[in-house]
Amino acid sequence: MVVELVLLILFLILSIFISKKFHVKHYGDLPPSPLALPIIGHFHLLSPLIHRSFHDLSLRFGPIFSLRLGSVPCIVVTSPELAKEFLKTHELSFIDRSENTAVETMTYNASFAFAPYAHHWKFTKKLITNELLGGHSVDNFLAIRNQEYVRLLRLLAKKAETCESVNLSEELPRVSHNVIGQMMLGKYSSASRADEARLVVREATKIFGEFNFSDFNWIWKKLDLQGFRKRTEATHKKFDELVEKVIAEREELRKIQKKGDTIEEKDVKSFLDILLDILEGESSENLEVEFSRNHVKGLITDLFAASIDTTSISMEWALAELMNHPEVLKKARDEIYRVVKNGRLVGELDVPNLPYIQAIIKESLRLHPPLTFVTRKCVEQCKVGNYVIAKDTMLFINNWAIGRDPKNWEKPLEFCPERFLQLDGGDKASAIDVRGQQFQFLPFGSGRRICPGITLTMKMLPALLAAMIQCFDWKVVGTHYKNMDKENNVLEMDEKPGFTTPRAYDLVCVPVARFSPLSILDPQNEI
């Protein structure tokens, strides 16, 4: 057994050496590819920051190349033109996503984000758009968001008073969770339930970001070599207990409301209420798809997983970029002062008049897309250009690399929000949009499977960022930063691996109060 193991290791080392030394390109039906190793395919070429490895490979093999990860065939695309071919011209051939152990286990086998493009997906998409994430619904939940912005600003004001530091990498996900959690589930029954939910959701989101080798080879699929399935099942159990408690509390409240007893419920109907209406048959007439309790729970899991880290990490990157670019920060503040008068706090309703702030968010999404890839699966054999892509091939559109390619962007590594103002010569940040029509900029994907959370995100991020820089200066706390260039106070901008490519180091700062609108100081006041 030992001898066989040693021989296998020697064989793998030799193969790695050969593949590095004499990489081979395949011509013909498949895009070019490095030489693959038996069993592991091209895994040996990947570092934990996979988008960077794919970028390095694209420099050797061009804007489209193929890989085999374990036994799974993959195509990696790194140009806007090819992204358009796959996501627009051949959209229906690349409309699904590959499932994996985390998705199957965590989403009750009833995921929306990973559902095939069919009746159930279409039904749920309509539901989400009409009742939770469409413009009208997002506006209905404005009070919830305002409350959360003010809660954070008050906390920062307190820290500013005592010159204490605050870990924004901890606080920003709290804002996202409270906003999205309450939009979806209504008010939590208690502060402790809200905290419990936040911790469980955080653990669940982490699971989605872990790499599970077993998903990539039928040989060891059942073996659970990393103990991943076991951990996922344990996290799922915790998550399920929590969601069941939240649903049961809501059901109890609805029973009381139906009986007509007095209940103080001034909330807008939560999304969970609408889902329960469907389950209870109240709005299920003409329902053409099966909609079970597992679908409700799967959807809640999907929406939590897709929203909390994506939004909070985007805020963190944008703030860090501003701290590193005082001249941009100044311009942003000037814009806020021009638009927001009378000592009031900037809010979401100001966002359409703040093109520079919107441009900052876009520029940050260009350099730091929280989802570095748009991932899809080939649902039917398809010819793209000269290449034939087989059914079930995984597609990775490398957003991160496209956003940093000098062919697509002038001085791509510079943080320059102005590039999003230039195209129409005016000061409208809408020149390059986020809605997947310009293929050099796809932070939210494109086409039918584009992110349904864009409207919410593009209201929340600029409003919160504007409020945080309107009210505070930010003193970077040196000891919390590895490799910080202390003289220039430049923050390290390294990434670490994860579902959403977070910053490598927590963003810890001391807020310094510069402007205190009444709404922050007086707990009676709401913005």
CA gap 445, 451 in Å, rounded: 6
Nearer to ligand HEM, 230 or 448 (CB): 448
Indicate whether 303 belongs to the interface with ligand HEM (CB under 6 A).
yes
CB of 2 to ligand HEM, least distance (A): 46
Q: Give whichever of 34 and 443 is closer to ligand HEM, judged by the CB atom.
A: 443
- Specify the DSSP element, H or E, that contains 64: strand 64-69
Of the pair 121, 188, the CB lying nearest ligand HEM is at 121
Segment (H or E) for 410: none
Which is it for strands 72-77 and 64-69: parallel, antiparallel or unpaired? antiparallel
Closer residue to ligand HEM, CB minimum distance, 87 or 520: 87
Segment contacting ligand HEM by CB under 6 A, of 101-109, 243-251, 452-460, 472-480: 452-460
- Residue 370 as a binder of ligand HEM (CB under 6 A): the answer is yes
Going from the C-alpha of 182 to that of each of 38, 89, 152, 369, 419, the distances in angstroms are 49, 38, 16, 26, 36
Binds ligand HEM by CB under 6 A, chosen from 33, 137, 314, 398: 314
By DSSP bridging, strand 373-377 and strand 382-384 are unpaired
User: Angle at which helices 191-209 and 293-324 pack, to 10 degrees?
Assistant: 80
Both ends of the chain: CA-CA distance in Å? 70
Q: Which of residues 106-125 bind ligand HEM (CB under 6 A)?
A: 112-113
Of 296, 394, 451, 471, which one interacts with ligand HEM (CB under 6 A)?
A: 451
3-state secondary structure of 510: strand
Q: What is the dihedral of CA 114, 142, 144, 300, to 10 degrees?
A: -10
The answer to whether residues 29 and 388 touch, using CB atoms and an 8 Å cutoff, is yes
- Evaluate whether 501 touches 368 at the Cβ level (below 8 Å): yes
CA gap 72, 414 in Å, rounded: 36
Nearer to ligand HEM, 112 or 441 (CB): 112
**Total site size for ligand HEM, rule CB under 6 A:** 25
Q: Does 446 bind ligand HEM (CB under 6 A)?
A: yes
Interface region with ligand HEM, contact rule CB under 6 A, candidates 3-11, 266-274, 285-293, 305-313? 305-313
Question: Cβ(301)–Cβ(320) under 8 Å?
Answer: no
Residue closer to ligand HEM by CB (options 40, 179) is 179
Q: Considering the rule CB under 6 A, would residue 302 count as an interface residue with ligand HEM? A: yes
Residue type, 221: K
Binding of ligand HEM by 456 (CB under 6 A): yes
* Options 21-29, 242-250, 302-310, 462-470: segment touching ligand HEM (CB under 6 A): 302-310
Is 509 annotated in some ligand binding site?
no
The two structure tokens encoding residue 119: 């009746």
**In the bound complex, what is the minimum distance in angstroms from residue 326's beta carbon to ligand HEM?**
24
Among 33, 212, 232, 310, binds ligand HEM (CB under 6 A): 310
Pick one of 173, 347, 445, 511: the residue that binds ligand HEM (CB under 6 A): 445
For ligand HEM, which is the closer residue by CB, 233 or 267?
A: 267
Asked if 344 and 362 touch (Cβ cutoff 8 Å), the reply is no
Assess contact for 214 and 226: CB atoms under 8 A: yes
What is the binding site for ligand HEM (CB under 6 A)? 112-113, 133, 180, 302-303, 306-307, 310-311, 314, 370-371, 374, 443-446, 449-453, 456-457
Positions at the binding site for heme: 451
